[in-house]
Amino acid sequence: MKINKIVLKNYRNHALKEFTFDEGINLILGPNGSGKSSIVEALGVALFNAEPRNGNLSDAIGVDGKNATITVDFIGADDNNYIIERKIGQGSYARLYLNGEPGNRAETMDEVYEKMRSLAGIKKNEKKIFQNIITASQNKFVNIFLETPGEREKIFNEIFDTEIYRKMSEDFLKKFGDSRNSALQIKQNLSLEKSRYIVDASELEQIRLDLTEKRDVIEKEFAGLKNTQKELSIEKSALEKIQNEIGVLNKDVANKKENYENIKREIEQNSNNLKESENALKIVRDNKSNYDLYEIKSAERAKIFAEISKLEKDKIVSDELKREISELSIKIAESQEKIKGKEDTLAEKKEEIAEKKEEFELFERDFESKRAVTKDKSIYLEKLASEYLEFSDLRTAIIDLKKENDKLEALIENFKDKLVDPDCILQKLELLKKKQNELQLNKKTMDTLSLDIETYRTRLNDLRETKTKLSSGYCPYLNEECLNIKNDVSPDKYFESKENEFTVKIDDLNNEYLKFKGLSSEIDKNIGDISEQNRALEENAQIKAQISDNQYSIELNNKNIEIDKLKITNLLSQSHADLCKYLDNENLDEINLKLSGNISSLKRELELNEAELSKMQKELDRKRADITGEDKYVENLNDEIIKLKESLDENSAKKNNLIEEKDNYDKIISDLPQKKEELNAINSELQELKNSYDLYMSNFSKSAELEKYKNKIIEYKDNLLKTEAHIKKCETEILNKNKIFSVEKLNELTDLIALNDNKIENTLSSLSATKIELNNIVDKIEKNICIIKEKETLDNEIKRLDLTLDVTKKLRTKLNEMGKLVAARLIEKIEQISTNNFRNITGRNEEIVWKNSSTESYAVYLRKNSDAANETRFDILSGGEQVAVALSIRAALASAFTATNLAIFDEPTINLDSERKEALAENLSEIFKNLEQTIIITHDDTFRETAQKVITIP
């Protein structure tokens, strides 16, 4: 488990604070009272449902007094990122959800903390685990080891989970004891059952035989009724079947008659189609020869048309070739002219470039010479500037020191004005203390008067109550007349004198008490005056100390001024010896002016040189670019001439090829006029044959259907005869079935079946009642037998449980011893880890011994030299040793006995000396190496260097 972040809102003194944590050691550093422990307390409340330090959650709510919210972002044992929110006060709640999925969350307290136990790797008792293992609280760091033996046993048995063995032994004993008592109770109940159910067996057997005979008679009668019912149902079903068959035949006849009419209509329609096909066949035969001739001529026409199309395409190609030849002739002439012009320009440019290169070389030599001079001046300027900067720093330091001395002198004078004669203050203090003693005496007198007034008031109230009880002169306690009230004195008169006496006394005391009115204010004022005089004494001492500090500072500043002057002298003597004369008069401003003037003059000279160089550089770049451009131009011109000559040769060759190709096409297209004449002649012939061709085509498909219609007519006539025969057959079957079917007979059978159903139902009811009665008698017989057998079984079970109970008592003793053995193994592991921790913290060689036996419960000792006789009990160790031992054991518990991998220590350095604090700091990483995260709360910054994360709280 790893805590990423906690946000506290209105929790104790944290109005709204967010704290983030890293893996490893996290240090929460701050003064006492800054709210460090509140962060740990909030983690316990949110993550483990732990109680705050005073046990009351409402006390943890901050200034607004309504509610507080704790939000913790953490990584659970399943390596997922979770958010838990805990609100206390008004509208309190707990929520747990995966980070980024607030819609899917646990909201009830039980759900939240059941899930939290799983995420923290804790099976149960999460509050105890948090308070006793994960966390070592402030002021309770060592308390767990100082508890009484009984309390220590209770705490560590829960931590080590050894209570389970004691509970197991008690559970075993209780389980088998309860089983034995349960068996005895069942046996007693069976005895009662036996007295109720066991009767004469022969009487029960006779009743069973009579009922069996009655059942057999009824079953025989029931079987006869069922047979009769079956015969009637068969006869009825036969008549119903005939009735259904007649209906089906009538329906079939109607369908066939309708089908007969449809077939007649189809025969008529196909006869008409047959006549149309015969007429179409005659027309096809009459026009067949003209149709064939038309097809031949059409093929010839298509062939000639294809040849003409090809020749016309070839003519287009020939014309295009002629145009291309003309264009190429023009391009060739233009290329020849361009080549001549570019060759002339190339010769001129080469002469011009040679002149420019010669001029460029002369200008470049002049530029390099001037640039070398400027560089020397620049180096000298840098040296002057560095010296001037060093001088300026020393001059500024001297000026600042002198100014600081002036301020310190003024402060000293100011402090001297504030100084007061201490004897005067002491004299005033003596007078105020005397007055305080007098006021305290008066306060005691005032308190005595207040007590007396209250006493007399109580007595007066008691007197008035007694007056009421004795108003008749008769004592209610002694059941006799009151002897204090004589016959000649009435009760009212007797008590009135006493009341007056007490009232006067109270008034006198009140008057005396009023003399001290305002005494408390006067005491408070006097205490304030004493505090003021004490403060005056302290301020006087502080002023004297400040005057002494300031005088020392002035002396130190004067020494530093002299040192800085020596540094300036050394600096000027190297390059500016002429300026050293100004130091005698401390005229630093004159030196500063002279140095800055020299630098400015050199800068101006250097700027002029650099400006001239810049212009020359630009001119040099321009000339270089100009020559480069000219070279490039000449190169491009050469490339263009070469390309033009290549293009000229290519176009000449292409022209010759095109002329040859055109001559070939001209020979091919010479046949085009003759082909067009042939096409016109064929078109005329086709026009004359067109009518005969159209008549043939429009009647051909109709004539082809002649045989189809003939076959259909034959098929329909055959179907007509079959349908007529089927109708006659069905009508004959209907007549025959009507002869054997009777509606009256069917109704008579229906009534007989219904009457028989009633008889069957009555017989069945009588049979069921008899069977139930018979079954009850059989159950009674069987129950008598079962009770006897069950009693015998229980007697055997009680004997077995008695034996088991004896074994369980022996097992209980062994289980009680098992808890001690398990704790011993755990303690042995803790001793080893904690001893290593203790040695790392203290640098000493002692070992930690943790004893748990019948005489000692979880008692901690510190043993020297592995000598059992040289042991010191935990409660008599020094404070520092107790903290070191407690810290060592707690770190071992945290790393070995929780899956949370988290430990929290609040003020672990309490009572440790500086050496042990440093040793603890150096070994923290080793001590907590098995933990994923450790949080340490302290006001001591010894651990700052060791921590992976430091959270500082002001």
Structure confidence by residue, pLDDT tens digits, 231-253: 878 877 887 788 888 888 888 88
Say whether both 35 and 88 belong to one domain.
yes
What mean pLDDT is predicted for residues 515-541? 82
pLDDT at 83: 94
Name which of 201-215, 374-388, 610-624, 813-827 the model is least confident about: 813-827
Angle at Cα 249 formed by Cα 246 and Cα 251, nearest 5°? 110
Instruction: State residue 20's pLDDT score.
Output: 95
759 within a domain of the structure (yes/no): yes
The answer to the question of residue 444 being in a domain is yes
pLDDT at 198: 47
Average pLDDT, the chain: 80
- Residue ending a domain, among 544, 578, 597, is 544
Number of domains in the chain: 4
pLDDT exceeding 90 applies to what percent of the chain?
A: 6
Judge if 120 and 238 occupy the same domain.
no
Q: Are residues 459 and 536 in the same domain?
A: yes
Rounded to whole angstroms, the Cα distance separating 288 from 290 reads: 6
Average pLDDT over residues 323-349: 82
Quick: pLDDT tens for 76-105.
Answer: 988 899 999 999 988 889 999 998 777 678
pLDDT over threshold 50, residue 197: no
Is residue 770 within 8 Å of 218, Cβ to Cβ?
yes
Q: Please say whether the beta carbons of 641 and 339 come within 8 A.
A: yes
Q: Is residue 656 part of a domain?
A: no
Q: Above 90 in pLDDT, residue 74?
A: yes
Cα separation, 576 vs 813, in Å, equals: 105
**Do 68 and 134 have their domain in common?**
yes
The residues near 689 (Cβ < 8 Å, ≥ 6 apart) are 290, 293, 294, 297
Closest by CA to 149, choosing from 853, 722, 772, 663, is 853
Residue 18: its pLDDT value, please? 93
- The pLDDT confidence band at residue 525, using thresholds 50, 70 and 90, is confident
What pLDDT does residue 805 have? Answer: 56
> Model confidence at 161, in pLDDT bands (50, 70, 90)?
low
CA distance linking residue 603 with residue 608, whole number of Å: 9
Q: Which residues contact 257 (CB under 8 A, 6 or more apart)?
A: 727
Judged against a pLDDT cut of 60, whether residue 57 lies above it is answered with yes
| Residue 228 sits in the same domain as residue 106 | no
| CA–CA–CA angle 96, 97, 102 (5° rounding) | 120
* Distance from the Cα of residue 519 to its chain's centroid: 66
Q: Which residues pair with 136 in a beta bridge?
A: 905
Residues 139 and 242 in one domain: no
Verify that 20 and 135 share a domain, yes or no.
yes
Write down the pLDDT at residue 477.
46
Domain boundary among 492, 510, 544: 544
Which has the minimum average pLDDT: 262-266, 332-336, 427-431, 919-923? Answer: 919-923
pLDDT band for 366, please (50, 70, 90 cuts). confident
Within a domain: residue 345? no
* Domain region containing 475: 422-544
Q: Is residue 588 part of a domain?
A: no
pLDDT at 500 over 80: yes
Going along 797-921, which residue ranges are E strands?
Answer: 847-851, 859-863, 871-873, 902-906
> The domain spanning residue 931 has which CATH number?
3.40.50.300
Give the domain-ending residue among 801, 819, 837. Answer: 819
pLDDT tier at 473, thresholds 50, 70, 90: low
Same structural domain for residues 120 and 230? no
Whole-number pLDDT of residue 629: 86
For residue 667, the model assigns a pLDDT of: 80
pLDDT the model gives residue 70? 94
Is the pLDDT at 51 greater than 50, yes or no?
yes
pTM summary value: 0.37
pLDDT higher than 90, residue 7: yes
Tens digits of per-residue pLDDT, 770-796? 778 778 877 777 776 676 677 677 667
Q: Of 655, 657, 659, 650, give the one whose Cα is nearest residue 329.
A: 655
Q: Are residues 185 and 111 in the same domain?
A: no
Q: pLDDT for 724-769, tens place per residue?
A: 888 888 888 888 887 877 777 778 878 888 888 887 788 788 878 8
361 vs 446: CA distance, rounded Å: 118
